[in-house]
């Protein structure tokens, strides 16, 4: 039910991360007029973060639930087409801090292939800097901070000799509208995420990644075959599979296991068919990091923390 989808987003995803979205989600979950407008759209358009992102993209208010209600009702004719065309493609560069321990442990150099790459910011883990507690790695910008428990931090960033991505709708870091959409997807209070997004966009814009438009199952074999010999192919993805319908997800999992090289997944646990997962640290939503199907750590969605398995 749509009301409970908004209530759950507020209680489990926004709580502790965004008081504005927590308050707004509770209000929308009780707002029949806004819920009826959203309910008339296909189910894949019902995500709270999509509605909030579109309102912010168009310059509307999200801080005050009453003002949000009035804006949505008065401007639905402008909101609806954007809701139908844009999708949640948050490109969270902070997730590179979650991937780094797995990537740095593989035989170097690496050929990186990201599925569900959005704008491709995850394809430059060698060009950013990282801080795990007091341990720093890497020289570049942005600096990605991650509170890690139980992790032996990597001593180096990976050496990347090839990078390519696949997305149903690749975003272009040199297109102002796509950049504005990426910024609108960042939660209102998260100034630090907006700043590091801009820094990562500058890195990617200086060397735009090769992003193939298409489905992760259809495009993966041919793109993987382009990886250079002599490099370790790593197929990876973060926060993608929850958007992929189950039959397609199963086809992808079967395909990726057959490819040469390694597979790094950072996803909602239900999407990966993993066994023997320890209980998550608390009632918040966690993703699981896995290397070649072996679970390694729980982590929070924006890369802010990880709990390495013992
Ligand atoms: C939430 S975003 C995450 C982007 C990026 N992986 C990150 O963590 O910053 C999910 C991305 O997966 C893409 N996606 C969803 N289903 C896909 C599919 N079947 N094939 C390729 N890409 C897909 C979406 O277009 C979107 O860009």
The answer to whether the beta carbons of residues 87 and 179 sit under 8 Å apart is no
The tokens for 23 are 């308050």
Q: Rounded to two decimals, what is the model's pTM? A: 0.93
DSSP state of 89: -
Smallest CA-to-CA distance from 245 within 303, 168, 164, 301 is with 168
Angle at CA 192, nearest 5°, toward 191 and 196?
A: 120
Q: How far is CA 6 from the centre of its chain?
A: 19
Q: Categorize the per-residue pLDDT at 276 as very low, low, confident or very high, splitting at 50, 70 and 90.
A: confident
Give the chain's length: 310
Question: pLDDT value at position 255?
Answer: 98
List CB contacts of 57: < 8 A, sequence separation 6 or more.
82, 86, 180, 181, 184
> Look-up: residue for tokens 């086809």?
251
Query: What's the gap in Å between 232 CA and the centre of ligand 1?
Result: 23
167 Cα distance to chain centroid: 12
Residues above pLDDT 70, as percent of the chain: 100
Q: For 42-97, what is each residue's pLDDT tens digit? A: 999 999 999 999 999 999 999 999 999 999 999 999 999 999 999 999 999 999 99
- The alpha carbon dihedral of 254, 257, 263, 266 has a sign of positive
Per-residue confidence band for 310, with pLDDT thresholds at 50, 70 and 90? confident
The model's pLDDT over 135-173, given as tens digits with 9 standing for 90+, comes to 999 999 999 999 999 999 999 999 999 999 999 999 999
Ligand 1 atom with least separation from CA of 216: 20
- pLDDT at res. 83: 98
Q: For residue 142, count other CB atoms closer than 10 A to its CB.
A: 24
Give the confidence band of 275 by pLDDT, cuts at 50, 70, 90.
confident
Residue 32 is predicted with a pLDDT of 98
Ligand 1 atom having least distance to the Cα of 92: 9
* Tens-place pLDDT, residues 254-264: 999 999 999 99
Check residue 237 and give its pLDDT. 98
pLDDT at residue 175, rounded to an integer: 97
pLDDT tens-digit profile of 109-140? 999 999 999 999 999 999 999 999 999 999 99
* Residue 2 · residue 46 · CB < 8 Å: yes
CB 41 within 8 A of CB 77: no
Q: Where does ligand 1 bind, in terms of residues with CB under 6 Å?
A: 87-92, 95, 115-118, 122, 166-169, 215-216, 238-240, 243-244
* Beta strands at 143-149 and 129-132: parallel, antiparallel or unpaired: parallel
What pLDDT band is residue 12 in, cutting at 50, 70 and 90? confident
In DSSP notation, 39-69 reads: HTS-GGG--HHHHHHHHHHTT---SSHHHHH
Q: Is the peptide bond before 216 cis (omega within 30 degrees of 0)?
A: no
Ligand 1 centre distance from Cα of residue 306 (Å): 21
Residue with CA at minimum distance from ligand 1 atom 19: 215
Choosing from 48, 118, 287 the residue with most ligand 1 atoms within 8 A of its CB, the one to mutate for a pocket test is 118
The rounded mean pLDDT for the chain is 96
What number is the average pLDDT over the span 212-231?
98
pLDDT grade for 284, boundaries at 50, 70 and 90: confident
Is the pLDDT assigned to residue 196 strictly greater than 80?
yes
- Residue with the nearest Cα to atom 9 of ligand 1? 91
* Whether residue 187 has a cis bond before it, omega within 30° of 0: no
- Residue 215 DSSP label: -
Percent of the chain's residues with pLDDT above 90: 95
E strand map for 80-159: 110-115, 129-132, 135-137, 143-149
Contact 124, 138 (CB under 8 A): no
pLDDT given at position 115: 98
């Amino acid at each position: 039910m749509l009301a409970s989808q908004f209530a759950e987003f507020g209680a489990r995803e926004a709580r502790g991360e965004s008081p504005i979205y927590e308050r707004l989600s509770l209000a929308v979950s009780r707002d029949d007029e806004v819920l009826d407008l959203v309910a008339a759209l296909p189910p894949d358009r019902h995500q709270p973060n999509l509605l909030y992102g579109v309102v912010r993209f168009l310059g509307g208010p999200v801080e005050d639930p009453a003002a949000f209600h009035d804006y949505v009702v008065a401007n639905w004719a402008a909101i609806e087409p954007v809701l139908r065309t844009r999708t949640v493609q948050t490109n969270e560069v902070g997730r590179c801090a979650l991937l780094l321990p797995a990537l740095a442990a593989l035989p170097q150099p690496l050929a990186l292939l990201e599925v569900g790459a959005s704008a491709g910011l995850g394809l430059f883990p060698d060009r950013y800097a990282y801080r795990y507690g007091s341990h720093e790695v890497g020289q570049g910008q942005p600096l990605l901070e991650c509170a890690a428990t139980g992790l032996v931090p990597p001593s180096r960033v990976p050496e990347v000799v090839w990078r390519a991505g696949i997305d149903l709708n690749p975003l272009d870091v040199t297109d102002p509208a796509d950049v504005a959409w990426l910024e609108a997807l960042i939660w209102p209070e998260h100034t630090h995420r907006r700043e590091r997004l801009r820094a990562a966009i500058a890195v990617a814009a200086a060397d735009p990644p090769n992003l193939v438009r298409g489905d992760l199952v259809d495009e993966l074999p041919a793109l993987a075959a382009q990886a250079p010999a002599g490099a370790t192919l790593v197929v990876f993805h973060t926060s993608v599979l929850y958007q992929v319908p189950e039959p397609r997800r199963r086809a992808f999992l079967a395909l990726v296991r057959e490819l040469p090289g390694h597979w790094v997944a950072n996803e909602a646990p239900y999407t990966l068919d993993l066994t023997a997962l320890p209980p998550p640290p608390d009632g918040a939503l966690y993703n699981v990091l896995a290397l070649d199907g072996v679970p390694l750590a729980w982590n929070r969605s924006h890369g802010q923390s990880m709990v390495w398995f013992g």
